[in-house]
A and B are shown apart, each in its own frame.
Chain A
């Protein structure tokens, strides 16, 4: 790896780059799935390549290749410089970067059980047991399970003299029971929808999830949804389970705080942000009890946004985002940090792979736990709905008007969880919503969820992000909004 990276760096500098960085990545991925009692997918992939990002003529250029001969690496580095000089044809000013230290380090994310060392027959045995448990419930028409393992080995070299090696292992697992009856399709997923739970750790995650123990309940709920009442429309208090709250944080806090959006870099595709620069330090984003951080440090936990250094070679940090309800911080890069008066990047530049440039991405954007117990929260709620497991999510291009649907809801009446509700949904305006938060459950109910599929950039990049949350209550929220009257 080091030889490849050094060739590219030398060539880029020799061709006139004033700054250059090279990332070499070797990624291995294994995906297993089952469907209705049969093994569905068994596939594995490996990808090794190199990307060179440079500044030349005061502008950015990037080129990447997976043909790692000396001649081709030289050609790729030279192309990056040529592209940068073409960028300079339409530049308004020279790119300037916040200063950064030279770093030489190696880091490996904790991984107790290498998932690639587990025979796939053992994985499939567990998955087919879960599948069997789901299909024991009459009315389940489709049972699907999956496991997803990834190991990423990365070397970063820059013209600052940095040389950073990082090794990360990620594990994901989950399942879904689908039930079709009459004129309705209902689904229940565990432990989360859209692939389950993902973390930066080894196969030990699978053991922690209690997959088999929850299968029967999930299947029964999927079938029971057909017979329960539709979520009513109106204004109610809502309690979000921690996985749904994790996605709410992702969409209505995590994306708006990306400073590249705020500055217009994503205007043509992912959109901009309502968090214009004047709001830093002044906006009452949320109620006083809400505290949110963007924390990439390993101390925060094994999130999909955990690392030691970002893809610009900046150390992982814990950045306060919302402090006692006030908006206090953006996610930044070396190029954008000075725009908000920061001397150093917040270390949030991440690239999907060797063939993509780093962009400002969420790390682990998490809400600090409160002190409530879920049972006390329900007992304290007179007229509300408990919402569990995301089914749909949508938010406008400035991250202001949102709408979510969940797989299942429960009516709360007079402090008691009563009837099951199907097709629940709620919507609102980001700041109104976060200012209505009046109770957050304690650290023992806090989970660091993984969102493996966050899309941004052109060409599109998919990134994993982490979101720690415990159940929380929001007052007077519009519910039942997704179903036209």
Chain B
């Protein structure tokens, strides 16, 4: 049974009955998710999960500890409170710890759709069967995943802060393969009908067909057109650098660079949980309302995000981006919206003399934390462009590229769209055309 506000209140009252700490925070989460997975044109894994957890953060004489359980009976809740208090008492006090926040005001968001919450395994299986049939029509092999589910989350504390969020989420991703190539497409949405699985399958089929018998090209510096998923998965490696605590602790690539134009004049992004294409709760891990924060304006990092603790430490205002306490990371913007422009991917191709079109990247890792050099591979559809036209597929390439430098070399952008990848959480980002992107080596397929 999914968590409701009323049940959250009842659990909170039980915790308060047993907590003898100075301050008590209760986080309750509940979820029901199902996922149908297919490969080799057949369903091979098909799962469902329901789970509920109760997490208590207690503060006693300036000492804080967290304990969590998924047992909700009276004895377990009592034990949880005792355990958390015992843990807190054995640690040294934290001189920087703030009192818990009081009541807050939240702007509502509606991200729950019954159609998604109630999607059946039969519907998922029938959809998969249609996608497989489309791949088989061109003698191709399909693999992918179709998931759906709902979650609810309540946060309450003994100073009167209480908030609740529920949402649904669905995801469809598909890889279509020939003997020598592959294509991929993916979408996520709170309302499952927006996924358009057959449209995604069509896109993956077209990429697989167009990249058959890929050519090998010499690694080097190329103009690249990054489809939104490729752009997203790179940008995901920068979100933690916009944390106020990361800059304060000198572990951000923007340490010493605030107020400087480190990115291109055409680069703007903000964090905006209320954007219609965004998802997630309108409050952070301490219950502070999330604010819209303009982060990068005309290539300059104008603002960082701050949890309450960080804001107090550095003399800033909290922005509602903190992770649940205790944590080491502080905060991060997790609802990034990057501005785009009016170009289409076709416009970008048409204006490219020699370059590459990248569907997505794979296994991206940070090589250098300050220069923000990332490495990774292209995957599932990389194409050679010559004289304004896509000519053929190419074998996958490894890149070593500074993301900071890359965001200074963006020549064209599409309108931004809600985008899903595999290395980052979803954001709203455009496709981009970038000059001088460094590919360091090639693989043999």
Contact = CB atoms under 8 A, between A and B. Distances in A.
Interface of A: 33, 35-36, 38-49, 59-67, 76, 79-80, 82-84, 86-87, 89-93, 119-121, 124, 128, 141-142, 144, 178, 180, 183-185, 187, 263-269, 271, 274, 355-357, 391-398, 400-401, 403, 405, 423, 425, 427, 429, 458-459, 478, 481-484
B441 A401 contact: yes
Interface residues of B, number: 96
Nearest to B173: A268
Interface string B100-143: 00000000000000000000111011101100100000000101
B267 interface: no
Nearest to A68: B71
B94 A38 contact: yes
14 contacts: A44-B87, A64-B51, A65-B50, A83-B121, A124-B91, A263-B40, A264-B143, A395-B377, A396-B363, A396-B377, A396-B443, A403-B400, A405-B367, A427-B441
Given A42-B88, A401-B398, A458-B145, 18 more contacts: A44-B67, A45-B55, A48-B71, A60-B46, A86-B43, A87-B46, A124-B92, A183-B256, A266-B39, A268-B39, A355-B51, A391-B367, A395-B377, A397-B362, A397-B363, A397-B377, A458-B147, A481-B400
A449 to B, nearest CB: 19
The DSSP consensus for interface residues of chain B is strand
A267 B38 CA distance: 9
Contacts of B175: 267-268
B50 A66 contact: yes
B70 interface: yes
A91 B67 contact: no
B54 to A, nearest CB: 10
Contacts of A142: 249-251
Nearest to B376: A394
A91 B379 CA distance: 28
A26 to B, nearest CB: 10
Given A120-B90, A458-B147, A396 B396 contact: yes
Interface of B: 33-53, 55, 64-71, 83-84, 87-88, 90-92, 94-96, 120-122, 124-126, 128-129, 132, 141, 143-145, 147, 173-175, 177, 182, 184, 249-251, 255-256, 326-328, 362-371, 373, 375-377, 379, 396, 398, 400-402, 422, 438, 440-445
B180 to A, nearest CB: 13
A268 B174 contact: yes
B45 A357 contact: yes
Given A44-B83, A64-B49, A141-B249, A398 B443 contact: yes
A414 to B, nearest CB: 30
Contacts, number: 277
A237 to B, nearest CB: 19
Contacts of A61: 46-47, 121
A312 B66 CA distance: 34
The 6 closest A-B pairs by CB, nearest first: A86-B121, A180-B250, A401-B443, A267-B143, A45-B68, A43-B66
A440 to B, nearest CB: 26
Contacts of A62: 45-48
A466 B308 CA distance: 40
A41 B326 contact: yes
A340 to B, nearest CB: 16
Contacts of B141: 264, 267
Contacts of B33: 459
Given A83-B48, A120-B87, A392-B367, A268 B143 contact: yes
Contacts of A482: 367-368, 373, 375, 400, 440
A79 B50 CA distance: 11
B337 to A, nearest CB: 25
B250 A67 contact: no
